[in-house]
A and B are shown apart, each in its own frame.
Chain A
Amino acid sequence: MSLLDVRSLTVEYCGALGNRVAVDGMSFQIGKGEFIGLAGESGSGKSTVAKAVMRILQTPGFISGGEVYFEGVDILKMSSEELRELRWRDMAMVFQSALDSLNPVLSIRSQFQDMAQAKLGRPMTDSELVEVLDFVQLEPRLLDSYPHQLSGGMRQRVGIALALSLKPKLLILDEPTTALDVVVQRHILRGLIRLRKQLGFAVLFITHDLPVLLAMSDRVIVMKDGQVCDDLSPAELRHHPTHPYTRTLLDSMALLVADDSRTSGRGD
């Protein structure tokens, strides 16, 4: 049994000009401990899939069809009470902008305690907090800082630590490093690889940065207009893409400027 089994998921957004289908009958699976990359351009529906799976879609978005099984139970049929149990404990999410997803008026310590109070019914002990921060290589003294005092990379690592603090089985990351520079990105990605070895959680990693996905994923799903174009291993995807759109994405990765007199100098 897969950890997550998405079957013919359809999501629509209501608009003045009628409904717009953002995710169009999408199906895919994530096995236990698997690292799945989800690629596609803005507007292709990647983030909508993640929000639908977490069931945190907001109006005007709504799920109009399909099933989403987490360990064999259909999430779409769960009551809000059951969902609250599932979220964060079994399935957690890291958002693109950590500045927007952390509470600006709470210290980092309070954000963890806020979550722990809601989920564990008790505050986390100091040693638990230190352990969780150590996941992402942040020093304990940061606990008394506020989000605006941290750099973008540190904030994103706080977001990841928050998501991992209950050791979920599935971690969804929506463009976690897109706003960061490459040095910080590499640091975070390497940390993620190490943590996954240590804790064994599955990952759904969403980005339009194809090289990152090819380097990290067990399988890469390419999405366009709400549908799956390809669902292949990185090696297959690079050398035998089935969909023309996947080829376009691979091409834009290989060479950024084609009609310029200068060549890229990097044969690929």
Chain B
Amino acid sequence: MKTLVLDGLRKTFSVSSKTVVAVDTFSMELSQGEIVAIVGESGSGKSTVARMVLGLESPTAGQAFIRDEQGHRPCALRDVQMVFQDPFASLNPVHRVQTHLTRPMKKLRLNPPKGEALHRDVEALLRRVELSPSDEYIDRFPDSLSGGQRQRVAIARALAAQPTFLVADEPTSMLDVSIRRDVLRLFSRLRADNLGILLITHDLKSVEAIADRVFVLKEGLCVESGQTEQILTDPRHPYTQLLCNSVPDPEGAFLRDDPVTGDAPR
């Protein structure tokens, strides 16, 4: 069993001779077969955490690494893969679906499949993300796919490297509610396949639906963390309470005054 360890990750940016702390010493562990969410509003630093895990941003201090039976080693792309927010921007418009999936297989797997095996793996991947019959999608270009289909291709591409962990940065915020539900279901099946998923989101509904644990980030600081149910039904920090109380409900309770009370949210 592998564990993804984020150990004291810190990121600062200098903006016109001032230092801005984007992420302030964030630590957590993610096991296989677990979905952990990082929530917070825009600018809270949650995407920066994701980018540091993937090596897209180098931490000012701290590190992200993989711990397994053999000890510690740095995160590699075959351990951790990322799904981005915008499925319209994250796929290459001049490549077919097939190319999106075969490239990470060839580049990142230890024993890249060849010939017939490569083709079988592409088909299996498409089935896994419920793009079937796979023949219908394999030669398509991204521009002929809907947003939900594109996001599935992006997830399949991340899975093509056979990673142990997925980092998903707002994977559903650009999708409609019914498509959002399908993508979340897909994540919960991947968890059953023993993947560990780090879900970055501001959508507490998604968190409630699939996350096992939650970390709440505000201005780069983790203000609260714990089991999902505990955090959502009994938030302790005023900011978490504000987040919980801002989720739209059909009765309109989120629009009424005095949002921050000590009461349990809806």
Contact = CB atoms under 8 A, between A and B. Distances in A.
A151 B177 contact: no
B176 A208 contact: yes
A249 B178 CA distance: 7
A180 to B, nearest CB: 7
A13 to B, nearest CB: 16
11 contacts: A42-B147, A181-B202, A182-B41, A182-B203, A186-B254, A186-B255, A190-B255, A215-B248, A215-B252, A256-B206, A256-B210
A256 B181 contact: yes
B252 A182 contact: no
B209 A257 contact: yes
A64 interface: no
Given A182-B248, A183-B41, A193 B255 contact: yes
Given A185-B248, A186-B255, A260 B188 contact: yes
Q: What are the 3 tightest A-B residue pairs by CB atom distance, in nearest-first order?
A: A215-B252, A214-B250, A256-B209
Interface string B242-266: 1100111111101100010000001
Contacts of B252: 214-216
Contacts of A117: none
Interface of B: 41-43, 146-147, 176-181, 184-185, 188, 202-206, 208-210, 229, 232-233, 242-243, 246-252, 254-255, 259, 266
A249 B250 contact: no
B209 A181 contact: no
Given A185-B246, A249-B178, 16 more contacts: A151-B42, A182-B246, A183-B243, A210-B177, A215-B249, A252-B177, A252-B180, A256-B184, A256-B205, A257-B209, A258-B185, A259-B185, A264-B208, A264-B209, A265-B208, A265-B232
B127 to A, nearest CB: 17
A211 B248 contact: yes
A83 interface: no
Contacts of B179: 41
Interface string A115-155: 00000000000000000000000000000000000011100
How many A residues touch the partner, as a band?
35 or more
Contacts of A216: 252, 255
A102 B266 CA distance: 37
B254 A180 contact: no
Contact of B249 (A151, A190, A211, A262): A211
A59 interface: no
A181 B85 CA distance: 14
Given A184-B42, A215-B250, A257 B243 contact: no
A156 to B, nearest CB: 12
A234 B250 contact: yes
Contacts, number: 105
A236 B2 CA distance: 51
Given A41-B176, A215-B248, A248-B178, A257 B42 contact: no
Contact of A215 (B178, B229, B255): B255
A56 interface: no
Interface in A1-44: 41-43
A182 B42 contact: no
Nearest to B254: A186
A249 B176 CA distance: 10
Contacts of A189: 255
Nearest to A237: B250
Contacts of B210: 256-257, 260, 262
A183 B246 contact: yes
A209 interface: yes
A189 B255 CA distance: 8
A265 B229 CA distance: 8
A198 B107 CA distance: 61
B177 A253 contact: yes
Given A183-B243, A252-B178, A260 B42 contact: no
A210 B206 contact: no
Nearest to B266: A266
Nearest to B172: A256
Contacts of A41: 176-179
Given A208-B176, A256-B180, A257-B184, A182 B204 contact: yes
Interface string A220-251: 00000000000000100010000000001100
